[in-house]
Structures are given as C-alpha cells and as structure tokens.
C-alpha cells in the first residue's frame, strides 16, 4: 500500500482521519507546516497539541520551519479577501507545495491533507490546490473526502475523548480579525 504524508493544520481537524488511518494499519505520517498561524504563541499551542495527538496514536510526526514572512509574501495583495477567496487558495497552495516537496524527498508515494475537513472550508478549493501542488512538485495528491464515511462523527468523538484544544479562528491574522470560525 502507498505510503502517505498527511498535511495537518491542527489536532481537532486531523484527529478523526488519524484514528481511521491508524485503525486500518495504513503506512502514513503527519506533517505540520502552517506558517499562516498567528500569533506565534498560538502556533506553538497548535503544534504541541497536534504532536500530542500523534503520540497517542503512535504516528510519526514532523514539523517544519515557521515562516510567517514567507506566508505573508505568498498572500500579498489578497489580505482583505473573504475566506474561501484567493487568499485562502494561495495559503493552501503554499503549504501543500511544501508538503509535496517534503513527501517527495522523504520516501512517500503520495500526499494528502485535512485542510478541507472543516465545513467552513471549500473542499474543491483545497483539492484544486493539492492537485496543482502535486503536479508542480511531481508527486500525486490524494483527494479523498475526509468528511464522509462517518469521519465527522469520529472526529467529534476523538476531540471529546482527548479534550483537544479547539481554536476559534482559522489561523491567519485576517481570519482572527473577521472572526472566521474554523
Ligand atoms: S482564513 Fe485560513 S485558509 Fe484562509 S488564508 Fe487565513 S489561514 Fe489560510
């Protein structure tokens, strides 16, 4: 079976998927690359919580550099866009391209993400960014729908069971300001 890298934005979004894949005995690892998250204290909090979750399920966990300046450059000119607009597409594409590069250089056959798990996100937009990132970096992106097949219920159950930290905004300073709720 293909070895997969799963890009995660946070513990509450990834917990159902991680439990499902672990239960199925899938060969996978979790990657945390989220330079969109601000402020840094919040970033550290989400990082620590995602690591705690992976430790519970004994899943390999990698975190990459925190690069808010690079992220700001990637979304420049779209700061005022509404959620699901061009700003979010660029944000997804940047993070997914980094995940694709990491996957390609570390022995993974494919990559995917939980960036579209929240009902506040546009799954088609995430898939479009993932497919583009895969094409640009030369590794296939798995567009599996992580919301279906009981995964939402599983996500809620694991959230409750592990009393995971749940933030009330997506991540970037603009989502915090406009109170976009994840
Ligand atoms: S709202 Fe979320 S997905 Fe959109 S740009 Fe901000 S952090 Fe990225």
> What 3-state class would DSSP assign to 88?
helix
Which of 76, 83, 95, 167 gets mutated to test ligand 1 (max ligand atoms within 8 A of its CB)? 83
* Ligand 1 centroid, distance to 164 Cα (angstroms): 21
For ligand 1, atom 1, name the residue with the nearest CA: 175
Question: 62 has which bridge partners?
Answer: 31
Residue 123 lies in a domain: yes
Contact 33, 64 (CB under 8 A): yes
* Ligand 1 centroid, distance to 9 Cα (angstroms): 10
CB count, 10 Å around CB of 120?
13
Residue 109 lies in a domain: yes
With a 6 A CB cut-off, is 142 part of the ligand 1 pocket? no
Which residues are CB-contacts of 57 (< 8 A; sequence separation ≥ 6)? Answer: 18, 19, 22
CB count, 10 Å around CB of 164?
19
Atom of ligand 1 nearest to the CA of 36: 7
* Ligand 1 centroid, distance to 34 Cα (angstroms): 10
Residue 59 lies in a domain: yes
Is the overall model pTM greater than 0.75, yes or no? yes
For ligand 1, atom 3, name the residue with the nearest CA: 88
Residue 182 lies in a domain: no
Contact 156, 117 (CB under 8 A): no
Total residues belonging to the chain: 182
For ligand 1, atom 2, name the residue with the nearest CA: 170
For ligand 1, atom 6, name the residue with the nearest CA: 172
pLDDT tens across 8-58, in order? 999 999 999 999 999 999 999 999 999 999 999 999 999 999 999 999 999
Domain of 164, in residue numbers: 4-177
Q: What is the CATH number of the domain that holds 124?
A: 3.40.50.620
Residue 143 lies in a domain: yes
Number of domains in the chain: 1
Range 158-173 average pLDDT:
95
With a 6 A CB cut-off, is 175 part of the ligand 1 pocket? yes
Torsion of CA 98, 48, 117, 131, to 10 degrees: 10
pLDDT tens across 82-128, in order? 999 999 999 999 999 999 999 999 999 999 999 999 988 999 999 99
> What 3-state class would DSSP assign to 32?
strand
Name the pLDDT band for 181 (thresholds 50, 70, 90): very low
d(CA 117, CA 21): 15
Where helices occur in 39-85 by DSSP H, the ranges are 40-57, 68-74
Q: In what order do the strands lie in the sheet with 61-63?
A: 61-63, 28-32, 4-8, 110-113
Atom of ligand 1 nearest to the CA of 174: 6
């Amino acid at each position: 079976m293909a070895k997969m890298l799963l890009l995660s934005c946070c513990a509450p979004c990834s917990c159902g998927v991680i439990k499902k894949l672990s239960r199925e005995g899938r060969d996978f690892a979790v990657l945390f690359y989220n330079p969109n998250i601000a402020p840094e204290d919040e970033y550290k909090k989400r990082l620590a919580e995602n690591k705690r979750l992976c430790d519970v399920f004994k899943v390999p966990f990698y975190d990459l550099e925190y690069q808010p300046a690079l992220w700001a450059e990637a979304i420049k000119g779209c700061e005022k866009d509404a959620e699901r607009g061009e700003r979010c597409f660029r944000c997804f594409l940047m993070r997914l391209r980094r995940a694709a590069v990491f996957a390609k250089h570390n022995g993974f056959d494919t990559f995917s993400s939980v960036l579209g798990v929240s009902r506040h996100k546009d799954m088609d937009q995430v898939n479009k960014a993932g497919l583009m990132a895969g094409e640009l970096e030369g590794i296939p992106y798995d567009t599996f729908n992580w919301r279906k097949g009981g995964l939402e219920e599983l996500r809620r159950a694991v959230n409750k069971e592990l009393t995971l930290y749940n933030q009330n905004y997506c991540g970037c300073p603009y989502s915090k300001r406009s109170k976009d709720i994840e």
